[in-house]
């Protein structure tokens, strides 16, 4: 575009009529995108439940292979990160970009902590031949044949979730750069709010994954 870059803190983009209209549009776009995320993970949850009904013993065995302590730790980490993210949005709305920057930084550290725990969980599984493919799979490591399917769903669902965490980290760095440059104002904070929404959805998906995989 040839149009000069607008200062989003005080002005709206060329094709909108007002800053409020632009903010509302952005927010609705993020919500719709969240709907697609839920439909996508929804497919995996449906698959999980269907095979859970088909292979109940395998699902019990699969759950017992996972460490509920590590899962619980990660749940706490994510819940805390959702809190700091929500606070970051509030601070940006008040115009406190510096405070928001610190809060986003804490959120990012939580995301890293989550991935470190996940790394130890994954590598433990791979070490014990419990990754269900790529010549790593060791059939003698489990009693039920269906457990391999459980582990596939475990790796696919937590893997896709982990991918979303990593995307979230990327978004956090983008936010930190913009917060550092003081690009937001009480009238313009769409990006922070949008990433916040995204982060909460990623968190909520984990809230469902944790009991389904580790506890029941």
Partner 1 sequence: MADTTVVDNHSSHSSGKDYLNESSGIWSWLTTIDHKRISVMYIYSIIGFFLIGGLFAILMRLELMTPEPLFMDGDTYNKAMTFHGSIMVFMVVVPGIPALLGNFLLPIMIGAKDVAFPKINLLSWYCLIFGAAVAILSLFFGGVDTGWTFYTPYSAKSAGAVSMVVLGAFIMGFSSILTGLNFIVTIHKLRAKGMTMMRLPLFVWSLYATAIIQVIATPVLGITLLLLTAERVFGVGIFDPNLGGDPVLFQHFFWFYSHPAVYIMIIPPMGIISEIISTFSQKTIFGYKAIAFSSLGISAISFLVWGHHMFVSGQSPVAATVFSVLTMLVGVPTAIKLFNWTATMYKGRVSFATPMLYALSFLSLFTIGGLTGLFLAAYAVDVHLHDTYFVVAHFHYVMLGGAIVGMIGGLFYWWPKITGKMYDEVLGRISALLVFVGFNVTFLPQFVMGSLGMPRRYHTYDGIYSAYHMTSTIGSWILTLGIFIAFYALYKAAKSGEKAPMNPWNGTTLEWTVPSPPPHENFDTVPTVTGRPYEYR
Contact between 134 and partner 1 (CB under 8 A)? yes
Task: Classify residue 65 as exposed, middle or buried by CB count within 10 Å of its CB (0-12, 13-18, 19+).
Answer: middle
Tokens at 135, concatenated: 């010549």
Out of 156, 169, 176, 204, the only residue in the binding site for partner 1 (CB under 8 A) is 156
Contact between 152 and partner 1 (CB under 8 A)? yes
Q: How far is the CB of 2 from partner 1 (least distance, A)?
A: 7
Stretch 29-68: interaction string toward partner 1, x if CB under 8 A = x--xx-xxx-xxxxxx-xx--xx--xx-------------
Q: How far is the CB of 39 from partner 1 (least distance, A)?
A: 4
Which parts of this chain interact with partner 1 (CB under 8 A)?
1-2, 14-17, 21, 24-25, 28-29, 32-33, 35-37, 39-44, 46-47, 50-51, 54-55, 132-134, 145-146, 148-149, 152, 156, 160
């Amino acid at each position: 575009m040839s149009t000069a870059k607008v200062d989003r803190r005080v002005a709206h983009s060329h094709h909108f009529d007002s800053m409020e209209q632009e903010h509302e549009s952005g927010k609705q776009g993020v919500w719709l995108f969240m709907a697609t995320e839920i439909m996508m993970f929804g497919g995996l949850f449906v698959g999980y439940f269907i095979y859970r009904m088909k292979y109940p013993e395998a699902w019990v065995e699969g759950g017992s292979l996972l460490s509920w302590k590590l899962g619980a730790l990660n749940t706490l980490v994510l819940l805390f990160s959702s809190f700091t993210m929500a606070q970051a949005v509030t601070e940006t709305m008040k115009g406190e970009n510096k405070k928001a920057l610190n809060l986003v930084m804490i959120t990012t550290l939580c995301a890293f902590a989550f991935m470190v725990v996940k790394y130890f969980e994954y590598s433990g599984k791979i070490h014990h031949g419990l990754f269900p493919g790529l010549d790593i799979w060791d059939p003698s490591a489990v009693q039920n044949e269906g457990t391999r399917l459980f582990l596939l769903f475990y790796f696919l669902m937590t893997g896709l979730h982990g991918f979303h965490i990593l995307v979230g980290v990327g978004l956090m760095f983008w936010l930190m750069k913009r917060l550092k440059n003081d690009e937001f104002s009480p009238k313009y904070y769409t990006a922070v709010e949008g990433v916040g929404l995204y982060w909460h959805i990623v968190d909520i998906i984990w809230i469902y994954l944790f009991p389904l995989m580790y506890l029941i």
